[in-house]
A and B are shown apart, each in its own frame.
Chain A
């Protein structure tokens, strides 16, 4: 899958320009994180990938096809999108029906649905809750129910809009395993998040937006080494990385063990001298 964004400009009917000339290529299966301050255009950008929004100027190509050539419902087969608020999506009377709704709509054969359902349900931690009414799920479970209902369509690209919002360790770990599963199955995962710890540990590439433009785009290691640039978009490196940078280390470090390792090496080098 290849997503090409070319000089994308988006102006809302209110006259507000949310995206102001974005060019970007996302391809392969390496998960990509999108970060940036509130109102920087993150959601507006990803909503162009399945044509919930159409460009005011510029274009978005999916495997060379302009998004405007198909409807959102047609793109649903290829591009899955999990919205931020689960209450906007869930409407059937059981988790199972929610899971089956999307694939039935997009014409996935029943055998395949049947085969996928237990796998997805398990990944989402809803294996024993399939007959429950989504209304009775907890906020976290609802979120995973929406994630599962999009994964069931088996799209090539899955977009998550702030999935880490309000998650505890268990929820975060579940998300991590879902992102890994998607990658191992040849899917591209694009995730909007404000949780830099989560991004640094699970994504190789991060795109940081600021005021409708790409502020910086690259490997987490490089992006998080530039705290002053990041602060323009109200983003800061994850805690351990900030400690490392504050100590004067040149590279960014995301794990405690790594930081301690650096210190040990540093001391050894000194002792030799």
Chain B
């Protein structure tokens, strides 16, 4: 099999979480750095008084997405999120914000105010930074690596389990439904075709899915314990190796500096405007 078809086959195989295994510098980056990035960039943009910073960061995120070889997926995610939320906020804030003083347009039934519009773009910008960076983090970070990183940073093993289990739950249910669907069709249930036939087919499938997940939950606790989960007096270790490289340390410093600068600027700006 050629390298290309191998990769195609890989991406087609069943997923276990939102993680997409594509090798890239972003994928290889230490997960904690990515978490730092979400918070430093997000909070920085939120406190910064001007619009342009958040949108510059969004542009930067596009660059990161390109580096991670997921530009199209990322663009899709951003537009699917940005357009509806902007329209909604423009409608609410732009037309009805009590802060509206400067009127940009008069529609008769309501007036479009500059303050509301600015507020909308500010909020959307900040949200895009937060969600965009979070999206990039989840799609480029292998769940096992993430939990290792979090445990190294002092996260409780039980919380680590919760993170992993919740990342895995949806694909597991999808897999179960596929198996059960097979079993039902073999007993004469049509699961394809018209919407109505599909709906009637769906009902018998819910039963076993719920049933088997109930059994699963009961047995999962047992399994984890017999495999040593929660043994007293042990610090859990992990198979995945994580080291922070000098470059990553530098990135971390840049991120923290960015945040500090943003906060410092926001603070001085607030004082400056008040004095004026």
Answer whether A and B touch in the complex at a CB cut-off of 8 Å. Answer: yes
Contact residues of A with B, CB < 8 Å? 13-15, 50, 52, 71-73, 76-77, 80-81, 83, 85, 87-92, 101-102, 105-106, 135, 149-150, 153
Is B239 in contact with chain A by the CB < 8 A criterion? Answer: no
Is B221 in contact with chain A by the CB < 8 A criterion? Answer: no
Is B179 in contact with chain A by the CB < 8 A criterion? Answer: yes
Bound-complex Cα distance A73 to B187 (A): 7
A149 proximity list for chain B (CB < 8 A): 187
Q: Which residue from chain A places its CB closest to the CB of B8 in the assembled complex?
A: A15
Taking a contact as CB atoms under 8 Å apart, the answer to whether A102 and B188 are in contact is: yes
Closest Cβ of chain B to A137, distance in Å, is 13
Closest Cβ of chain A to B12, distance in Å, is 5
Taking a contact as CB atoms under 8 Å apart, the answer to whether B187 and A153 are in contact is: yes
Bound-complex Cα distance A101 to B188 (A): 9
Taking a contact as CB atoms under 8 Å apart, the answer to whether B179 and A73 are in contact is: no
Taking a contact as CB atoms under 8 Å apart, the answer to whether A73 and B189 are in contact is: yes
A89 proximity list for chain B (CB < 8 A): 180, 183-184, 187, 208
Q: Which residue from chain A places its CB closest to the CB of B212 in the assembled complex?
A: A87
Q: Which residue from chain B places its CB closest to the CB of A102 in the assembled complex?
A: B187
Closest Cβ of chain B to A67, distance in Å, is 13
Say yes or no: A150-B187 contact (C-beta < 8 A), given A87-B208, A87-B211, A88-B208. Answer: yes
Q: Point out which of A80, A88, A135 has the most chain B C-beta atoms below 10 A from its C-beta.
A: A88
Is B185 in contact with chain A by the CB < 8 A criterion? Answer: yes
Say yes or no: A76-B187 contact (C-beta < 8 A), given A15-B1, A15-B6. Answer: yes
Taking a contact as CB atoms under 8 Å apart, the answer to whether A106 and B211 are in contact is: no
Is B9 in contact with chain A by the CB < 8 A criterion? Answer: yes
Closest Cβ of chain A to B111, distance in Å, is 56
Number of interface residues of B (CB under 8 A): 27
Taking a contact as CB atoms under 8 Å apart, the answer to whether B212 and A88 are in contact is: yes
Bound-complex Cα distance A261 to B228 (A): 55
Taking a contact as CB atoms under 8 Å apart, the answer to whether B189 and A105 are in contact is: yes
A88 proximity list for chain B (CB < 8 A): 176, 179-180, 182-183, 208, 212
Bound-complex Cα distance A87 to B211 (A): 8
Is B13 in contact with chain A by the CB < 8 A criterion? Answer: yes
Closest Cβ of chain A to B185, distance in Å, is 4
Q: Which residue from chain A places its CB closest to the CB of B214 in the assembled complex?
A: A135
Q: Which residue from chain A places its CB closest to the CB of B14 in the assembled complex?
A: A14
22 residue pairs bridging A and B, Cβ less than 8 Å apart: A13-B9, A13-B12, A13-B13, A14-B12, A14-B13, A15-B5, A50-B186, A71-B185, A71-B190, A73-B191, A80-B186, A83-B182, A83-B183, A87-B208, A87-B212, A88-B183, A89-B187, A90-B208, A91-B204, A102-B187, A102-B188, A150-B187
Is B166 in contact with chain A by the CB < 8 A criterion? Answer: no
Taking a contact as CB atoms under 8 Å apart, the answer to whether B185 and A76 are in contact is: yes
Which of A71, A101, A153 is in CB contact (< 8 Å) with B192? A71
Say yes or no: A87-B186 contact (C-beta < 8 A), given A13-B12, A14-B13, A15-B1. Answer: no
Bound-complex Cα distance A88 to B186 (A): 12
Closest Cβ of chain A to B81, distance in Å, is 29
A71 proximity list for chain B (CB < 8 A): 185, 190, 192
Bound-complex Cα distance A106 to B179 (A): 21
Closest Cβ of chain B to A97, distance in Å, is 11
Bound-complex Cα distance A105 to B204 (A): 12
Is B215 in contact with chain A by the CB < 8 A criterion? Answer: yes
B208 proximity list for chain A (CB < 8 A): 87-91
Bound-complex Cα distance A101 to B12 (A): 35
Taking a contact as CB atoms under 8 Å apart, the answer to whether A101 and B187 are in contact is: yes
Taking a contact as CB atoms under 8 Å apart, the answer to whether A77 and B183 are in contact is: no
Which of B9, B13, B188, B211 is in CB contact (< 8 Å) with A91? B211
Taking a contact as CB atoms under 8 Å apart, the answer to whether B188 and A77 are in contact is: yes
Taking a contact as CB atoms under 8 Å apart, the answer to whether B211 and A83 are in contact is: no
Bound-complex Cα distance A76 to B189 (A): 9
Q: Which residue from chain A places its CB closest to the CB of B204 in the assembled complex?
A: A91
Q: Which residue from chain B places its CB closest to the CB of A159 in the assembled complex?
A: B186
B1 proximity list for chain A (CB < 8 A): 15
Interface members, chain B 207-257 (any A CB < 8 Å): 207-208, 211-212, 215
B212 proximity list for chain A (CB < 8 A): 87-88
Say yes or no: A106-B188 contact (C-beta < 8 A), given A88-B179, A88-B180, A89-B208. Answer: yes
Which of A15, A76, A83 is in CB contact (< 8 Å) with B188? A76
